[in-house]
Every structure is written in C-alpha cells, then in structure tokens.
Structure 1
Amino acid sequence: MRYLVPAVLAEPDLTAAKVAGLTDGIVGHRMAKAALELAVLDAQLRTVGMSMTEYLGGVRERVDVGVSVGITDTVEDLVRVVGDFRAQGYRRVKLKIQPGFDVEPVTAVREAFGSALALQVDGNTAYRAKDLAHLTELDAFGLLLIEQPFEHDANDLHAELATRCVTPICLDESLTSSATTAAAIHSGACSVVNIKAGRMGGYLEARRAHDVATALNTPVWCGGMLETGLGRAANLALASLPGFTLPGDISASDRYYAQDITEPFVLVDGQVAVPQGPGLGVTVREDVLREVITSRQTVSA
C-alpha cells in the first residue's frame, strides 16, 4: 500500500475514478488498490453528501444475504453448523466442497433441511478434468449453482461442465475485470457471476462487471470475505444494484466479529439493510479501533 498511496495523493484533482489509472503501473495488488479507491470514494462522497449506494446506482434499501460454510471435520458437524445458521435466519447457505467431501455432505444437508433451503456449493478451484463426470452428480440436489470448481484459467473445463450439468456454473477466481467477465460469459464458462470488488481491483470496476453481466442477461451476486463493517457497507451498496438477483456472501457482522469497528450489521428475515448515509454510510468506532491497532503509519505524497 505504501507504494500506491503517494502516487494517488500527488494528484491535484483526485477522484475515485482516477485511482485505477494512477495505480495501473503497479502490477497486481488488486485488493490494496480496491481499498485505496474505496477510501478516496468515501471521502469524495462525504464531501458532497451522497451515499455510495446512490453513486453506484443502487435500487434496494435491503438485500438478501447468505452465509458461507467451510469444510468441517465430519458431515455431522456440517449439518449442525448449517442448522445453527438456519436458526439465525439465513435462507441461503453456501457449502465449500472438495474431492472426497462433496456429494455426501450435500446429500446430508439437503435431507436435513429440505428443498426450502436455498443451497449452493463452492469448489474453490479444487477439482480437475478427471472430476467432470463426478461433479454432474450434484445435479440431483437442486442447487442454485456450482461455483468455481476448476482453476482460474480453466474456462474450457467450466464450459464443458456447463454442457453436462443442469445446475448453473458460476465463476469467482476467474473473473478479475469486466473484460474477463464478458469473455467468460461469451465462452459459455458460466451463466452466473460472483462479483468481488477486491478481486477486481475496486468497486468501480465491479460496477462495470455488473453492467456487462446485466447486458448479457447473466445474474450476479456479491461475494464476500472477512470484511469489517467498512467493507461490509461497501458490499451492501454494491449488492443493491439491480443485477444482483441472488443472495450475496454479506452475512451479519456477528458471523466473524464479536465486536466490529463500526456499528454491527444485523440479519433480519434473511436480509441486511443497505447504509444510506454519506459515503459508506457508517462511522468507525475509534474506541474499538484503538484497542486492536498494533501500529500506525502516516503516508504522504
């Protein structure tokens, strides 16, 4: 980040739309670039009193959200964890899968919670060409989608699986821009798109990916990771755009944090409210931040 900030701060008329161009000479580091762009955008919008939701073109005050469940030690553990999240009000669950932990756990979860549970799976690039036939067995479970079973550069395998499966194929790690999103859709590698702003280098490129997918009649949903309230607020603004028709991985704050650095986001009837205030629409709790900061560095142009 210390290499990115000086080039941006030196710009005399800085806006979020300029950040990508100012940092383009630095290869990679998309998440750092996304964080920097978001900081500039937040400051820019607070200055004019506009919310990020309005700036991006969001249309919803609340968005449907889901929860992502990792691979557990046993199938019984998985069923218990999913049950806990169902009790909290989550209506969509994503299960992480891998070779040797796929059909059996999905069977157990579907049998335990029935067809009313919106269920999808995520292979996180763990599968290879030899697994094509095996993955088609997941068609039996009425899944929303199968996410990124093959490696990031294996659009051919994803396209082949799409011809064999009834279940929609979704890409995640493969999509790093609006251009790669368009190419993947055109190639038949996916019919659903997971948009993660960090992976795409920023929320403005994520919005462009949304626009491309929408123009190509491809549903999108918002991927998430371990965001604090700042990133969660931004993801909610992004997910309020009209093309985000599937629940995103934007679970409530207590999914990961006993105490967030903003006021917590709360799950209500399977949804989370989209912040409406200026910028990100949330305020950092300085008291909490002081307790967790281990070092502080000031960077100037």
Structure 2
Amino acid sequence: MLIQQIELFLIEQPLKIPFKTSYGTYEKRESIIVKILEVDGLSGYGEVVAFSEPWYTEETIHSALHVLQDFLIPKLLNKQFNHPSEIASQFNQFKGNQMAKAGLEGAYWDLYSKQHSITLAQALGGNKAEIPVGVVISIDEPGKMLKQIGDYLAEGYERFKIKVSRENDYEIVSTIRNSYPTIPLMIDANSDYSIEDIQKLKKLDKFDLLMIEQPFGERQFIEHAILQKEISTPVCLDESICSIEDVQIALELEACKIITVKPGRVGGLTNSIEIHRYCVDKNIPIWVGGMIETGISRIQNVALASLPGFTIPGDISASSRHWEHDIIYPEVALLNGKVKVPEGPGLGVEVDEERVRSLSKKIYRFT
C-alpha cells in the first residue's frame, strides 16, 4: 500500500465523570486521531493516547505532535509497505515516543485489515468472538466508590480496579471488601508507594486482591522484586513496561507475576503481539490496559484482547463509561458482561469523522 496522505486531528472532549488518580485529576481529555489514506482512497484510523501533562509518561500530546510531524510521518508518506510490522521497524531508529508511534502504526493496522477484508482481530491473531472486561474506579470517597462498584456489577463487569493512594488504600479496600468480599478486585496507585511502604503493603494481603498494579516508580525493577518476595499478592507492572526488553528484565528479576499490555505505552500493536507471545511462552498472565481512550483505541484493545494469551479481563469498559458520545458507531457496549469483537473489516466500526472534526482544536494534513 502506498501512503498518499496523513491527517492528524487534535481533539478535546469532557469526561462524563472526572477521573482522579494519585497523580492528578482529569476533567477533559485531549487526543490525537490519526487518519491514513492510501493511493486508492482506502483509509485507516489510529489514536495517540498520550495525556496533556507528563504524569503517566514523559510523552505528552504536544510532544507527540512534534515527533509525528518532524520525524515519523516523513518516514511513511508516499512510501509503500506490505505489512504493519514494517511500520514499527521504520520507527526503531527513534528513541521513546511510543504513543506517537502507536498512533500511526495502529492506523496502518486498520488500513491493512481493510485492504485484506479481514477483521483487525484476525490480522493480529485473535480467536475470540467476545471478551470479558473490567472497569476502573477513580479515587473518591469510599461510599461513592462503593456505589460505582454496585452500578458496574449490575452492568455485568467482571473485574474491578480501584485507584488508590498510599494515604487511603487500606480504608478504601477494607470498605469495599466488607460489602463485596468475593468480587475480583485489584488496586492501582500509579507509583505512589516507595520501598519504605512494604509493611503497609503487606497489610493488604488479607484482602485477597487479584494484584497490586505498579506500586513503585517505573524504573524500580529491583524494588518491585524485593516487594514481590515479601507479599503474597501478585505485583503487576504497567508504567514499567514500555518494550519487550522491559518485560524480560522484570521477569528475570522476578519483579512481578503479571504484566499489563497497553499498545500506546509499548509503541503499538506489533510490539504488543511480541510481548504477548513472550509472556505466553513464559506462562505469565497478561491483560490489556486502558488509557481513557476514544472508541478507536478501545476497539484496537478489544481486538488485541481477543488473542488467546490474554486471560484476565482488561480495562476495556463501554464507551458510555467516559463519553456522552463516542467518536465511533456503533459504540463499544457490554452484553452480559462481555464486549463482542467486531466482525467487519479493520476496526469493524465507523469513525464519525464529522464529530471528530467538530471536536478538533486543530487539524494537520500531510501529503
């Protein structure tokens, strides 16, 4: 396929409910929607899922725009490729900037799947017709978090991740466990703990949590290894995992027992598949994480989670979890606690480009 044109849409939309973590609160969400057109007029869509602030990673929406315009897009425009993995190879010479890379590569996966009249899930190697999903509850008063869990249970969600901080973890977890002693429950403090908190984290073992996600800093593999030896609750690494090399380091050091895979964080779907294969070979449980995305990335995550090695329900909630109106139709919806894998070619949904344009703060076009 010869790439003839690339468009970037810098959009912003309000969240239905403010999303609070240990490092900040989001009331609105910026995103970059990527559209790739090939010479015969076929188009593919991707999304850059960086945040506006360098909280989660050092990459931001505006640093991603710079890298896309000045480095990544020139590597693709008016050039021909046969498979999305070639896109990932084109980007290897540039360090970091995984979310910018993933946005372009994801759009090409959509384009490639459409050209071959197969679903994105089939192109990735998926074999499931539907996937179980989990939901994330942001930090709030314990009573309000309890109500959200009750509402999400009624909707059929099968796994619950609660955001906590080192100041409120025990109070929140004990309150939830008193009301819901058996639901699949995990916590995520987004690196809010330090090695000095090991005794504090040990106290959470009694709550039978599925996992503690990313308790320490992203490069603190050794500290995570020390913690995992001290607690029975599995440690799951998120921000620490930006490449297959990070997975290898984490597993060699026994720094965790579970890995979460986010295509945006690891540089795209090609790298996600490589991590999936490695973890399956090592018998390490993996699941697909979320980034408060639009439906474009959400459907990509659904397709990725259809691969056989993803055995834990991922952060792939319905579109209505965050948005009054998503930018795809049909929107991502739950049916009996599951999300169906789209059956149409590519993403298998339509992108509402009129809405994308109406939400755009700026549009960039490259030919």
Q: Is 1:289 equivalent to 2:356 in the alignment?
A: yes
Q: Does 1:68 align with 2:139?
A: no
Match of 1:273 in 2: 340
What pairs with 1:139-150 in structure 2 (closer than 5 Å)? 139-150=205-216
What's the CA shift for 1:11?
A: 2.7
Instruction: State the TM-score, normalized to the length of structure 1.
Output: 0.95
* Partner SS, residue 297 of structure 1: strand
SS in 2 for 1:131: helix
Contact persistence 2:263–2:272 (CA under 8 A): yes
Aligned to 1:87: 154
Aligned-partner SS, 2:187 = strand
C-alpha distance in structure 1 between counterparts of 2:315 and 2:149, whole Å: 15
Displacement after TM superposition at 1:10 (Å): 4.0
CA contact (8 A) 1:182 1:213 kept: no
Q: How far did 1:14 drift?
A: 5.2
Aligned to 2:52: none
Matched, 1:164 2:164: no
After the TM superposition, list the runs of 4 or more consecutive aligned residues in structure 1 that deviate by more than 4 angstroms: none
For 2:220 and 2:80, the matched residues in 1 are separated by 42
Unaligned runs of 5+ in 2: 1-67
Q: 1:205 and 2:271 equivalent?
A: yes
Of 38-47 and 238-247, the range deviating more from structure 2: 38-47
The match for 2:41 is: none
The letter for the 2-side match of 1:166 is S
**1:170 shift after superposition:** 0.6
Q: Which residue is equivalent to 2:171? A: 104
Secondary structure of 1:199's counterpart equals: helix
Checking the alignment, whether the CA contact within 8 Å between 1:34 and 1:203 is kept in structure 2 is yes
CA distance in 1, matches of 2:80, 2:185: 49
Shift of residue 212 of structure 1? Answer: 0.5
CA distances 1:88-145 after superposition (whole Å, capped 9, x unpaired): 2222110111111101100101111221x11011121111011011101111111111
Answer 1 or 2: which has greater helix percent: 1
User: Could you tell me how far apart the structure 1 residues matched to 2:128 and 2:81 are?
Assistant: 31
Q: Which structure features the higher share of strand residues?
A: 2
Alignment of 1:53 with 2:128, yes or no, is no
Q: Over residues 205-260 of structure 1, what are the superposed CA-to-partner deviations in whole Å (9 max), with x where a residue is unaligned?
A: 00100110110000100001111111111000100111100000000000011111
SS in 1 for 2:328: coil
SS at match of 1:188: coil
Which residue does 2:286 correspond to in 1? 220
The residue type paired with residue 208 of structure 1 is E
Distance 1:101 1:235 in 2: 30
Of 29, 35, 39, the residue aligned with 2:107 is 39
24-33 or 256-265: bigger deviation: 24-33
Structure 1 pair 12/91, CA: closer, same or farther in 2 (3 Å)? closer
Match of 2:258 in 1: 192
- Aligned counterparts of 1:276 and 1:181: Cα–Cα separation in 2: 32
- What is the total number of aligned residue pairs between the two structures? 298
Q: 1:241 aligns with which of 303, 307, 324?
A: 307
8 A contact 2:205–2:233 mirrored in 1: yes
Which residue identity does 2:320 align to in structure 1?
Answer: D
> Structure 2 length as normaliser, TM-score?
0.79
Deviation at 1:161, TM superposition (A): 1.3
> In structure 1, what is the Cα distance between the partners aligned to 2:301 and 2:350?
16
- Mapped to 2, the partners of 1:290 and 1:162 lie a distance apart of 47
Confirm whether residue 23 of structure 1 aligns to residue 96 of structure 2.
Answer: no
Which residue of structure 1 lines up, in the alignment, with residue 81 of structure 2? 13
**Partner amino acid, structure 2, of 1:176:** C
Q: Give the share of equivalent positions with the same residue, in percent.
A: 38
